[in-house]
């Protein structure tokens, strides 16, 4: 592999739409194409300059062949430029950037557009009819839940995996085993609960802070530069959407405390208010070698220092960012203290709190503009979204080093380390 430095020169996303909200009439490839096109315009590139397009997308049933290719063509990328789709669940959008990075490092590509797109609102219900229904009912499967939000190994919803009321770390030599404990766990484990206690109140407090930070950031215009407006035409009207739709302005701990548990009615702690949303959106970045950027007179937003991806026990997939961040810091030869900002995807407040506590991160550096609890979590887009937000936050504040990371369904984690010159 070459020693070429890979840089990010442009980073754009659409606003994030609510579930069955303002963007739900559009295909994912439409949102992806809008982000791709704007990314290229901002740095004066033509579609013909692009070597390859890579887009993350999880829910693609009925979206047509290779939605990444559709997005590329819609964005006026020439037909002779290849494009492909990645499904690594919540990590898809960041894995797309990772693949683009390696394509340039290997000398296979010169300029790569990478990103993520998702319209969770359009995920269809499906059934198996190839061999007919000989007797009885014909049940429909919700592909949003089946393909996007349900663990295939234990047949449980992602939210159930993150009811981390207490979780424990048993050390054995060089290895650590993370054991999830719900309220029905063995009482004897209470002895270890003193180390990590993540109560309903803590989760609601975290979620409230995420909403409040997002509200401040939106009102201050911090997201304006990273967002490209989307024009939506329906049967009734045409309108332009330029702001994220999901944040709940005026959120308080008291309001969150009134919400009922989502998964364990009697004594659960995860609610609709302290978990991320089901959302729609598209995002893209432009990657190239530092040499190419210099030759074209383009100023990079940041260079990619390192990537990391790990596997963890599927039942506690939410802890994935812990090992991913540890590994990416090791590869970058950074300490956690020298990182200026962390973007940690908030699948659930309990999951985010557990990761922050285990890593010992300064909370003032984590998701400074709010996270997925407030902004939303279009699963195929989120990996690129948190990277884009991190890039623009570093630029706006004049800081240098950032790390972005996500947990991934099935028990994985992914992370990237970036640095501004």
Residue positions annotated with a catalytic role = 90, 377, 407
Residue 361 per-residue DSSP state: -
Nearest to 367 by CA among 348, 390, 343: 343
Rounded to the nearest 10 degrees, the angle between the axes of helix 382-397 and helix 92-105 is 70
Tell me whether strands 150-151 and 156-157 are parallel, antiparallel or unpaired: antiparallel
3-class DSSP assignment, residue 158: helix
In total, the chain counts a number of residues equal to 421
Give the span between the Cα atoms of 299 and 293, in whole angstroms: 7
User: Are the CB atoms for 292 and 110 separated by under 8 Å?
Assistant: yes
Residue 211: phi and psi, rounded to 5, are: -65, -40
Give the span between the Cα atoms of 39 and 10, in whole angstroms: 6
Nearest to 72 by CA among 109, 117, 42, 124: 117
User: Are the CB atoms for 349 and 259 separated by under 8 Å?
Assistant: no
- Write a three-state SS string for 272-286: CCCECCCCEEEEEEE
151, burial (CB in 10 Å: exposed 0-12, middle 13-18, buried 19+): middle
Which strand ranges, in their side-by-side order, compose the sheet holding 83-86?
Answer: 83-86, 52-56, 111-119, 280-289, 6-13, 302-311, 412-419, 401-408, 341-344
Question: Can you state the percent helix, strand and coil of the chain, rounding each to 5?
Answer: 35, 25, 40
What does 25-45 look like in DSSP terms, one character per residue?
TS-HHHHHHHHHHHHHHHTT-
């Amino acid at each position: 592999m070459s020693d070429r430095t890979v840089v990010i020169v442009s980073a754009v996303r659409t606003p994030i739409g609510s579930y069955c909200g303002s963007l739900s009439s559009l295909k994912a490839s439409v949102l992806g194409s809008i982000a791709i096109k704007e990314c290229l315009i901002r740095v004066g590139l033509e579609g013909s300059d692009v070597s390859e397009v890579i887009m993350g997308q999880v829910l693609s049933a009925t979206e047509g062949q290779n939605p990444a290719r559709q997005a590329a063509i819609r964005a006026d990328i020439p037909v002779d430029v290849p494009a492909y789709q990645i499904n690594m669940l919540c990590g898809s959008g960041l894995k797309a950037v990772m693949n683009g990075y390696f394509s340039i490092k290997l000398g296979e590509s010169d300029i790569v557009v990478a990103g993520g797109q998702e319209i969770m609102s359009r995920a269809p219900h499906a059934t198996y009819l190839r061999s007919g229904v000989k007797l009885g009912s014909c049940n429909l499967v919700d592909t949003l839940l089946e393909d996007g939000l349900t663990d295939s190994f234990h047949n449980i919803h992602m939210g159930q995996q993150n009811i981390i009321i207490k979780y424990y770390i048993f050390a054995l030599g060089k290895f650590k085993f993370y054991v999830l404990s719900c309220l029905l766990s063995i009482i004897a484990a209470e002895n270890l609960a003193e180390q990590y206690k993540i109560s309903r109140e803590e989760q609601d407090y975290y979620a409230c802070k995420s909403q409040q930070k997002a509200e401040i950031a939106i009102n201050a215009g911090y997201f304006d530069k990273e967002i490209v407006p989307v024009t939506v035409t329906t049967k009734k009207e045409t309108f332009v959407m330029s702001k994220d739709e999901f944040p709940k302005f005026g959120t308080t701990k008291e309001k969150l405390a009134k919400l009922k548990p989502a998964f364990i009615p009697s004594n659960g702690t995860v609610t609709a208010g302290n978990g991320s949303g089901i959302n729609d959106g598209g995002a893209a970045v432009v990657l190239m070698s530092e040499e190419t950027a210099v030759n074209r007179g383009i100023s990079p937003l940041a260079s990619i220092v390192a990537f990391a991806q790990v596997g963890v026990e599927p039942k506690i997939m939410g802890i994935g960012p812990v090992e991913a961040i540890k590994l990416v810091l090791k590869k970058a030869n950074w300490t956690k203290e020298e990182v200026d900002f962390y973007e940690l995807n908030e699948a659930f407040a309990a999951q985010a709190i557990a990761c922050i506590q285990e890593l010992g991160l300064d909370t003032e550096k984590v998701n400074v503009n709010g996270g997925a609890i407030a902004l939303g979590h279009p699963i195929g887009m989120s990996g690129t979204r948190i990277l884009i937000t991190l890039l623009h936050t570093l630029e706006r504040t004049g800081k240098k080093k950032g790390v972005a990371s996500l947990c991934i369904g099935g028990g994985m984690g992914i992370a990237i380390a970036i640095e501004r010159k």
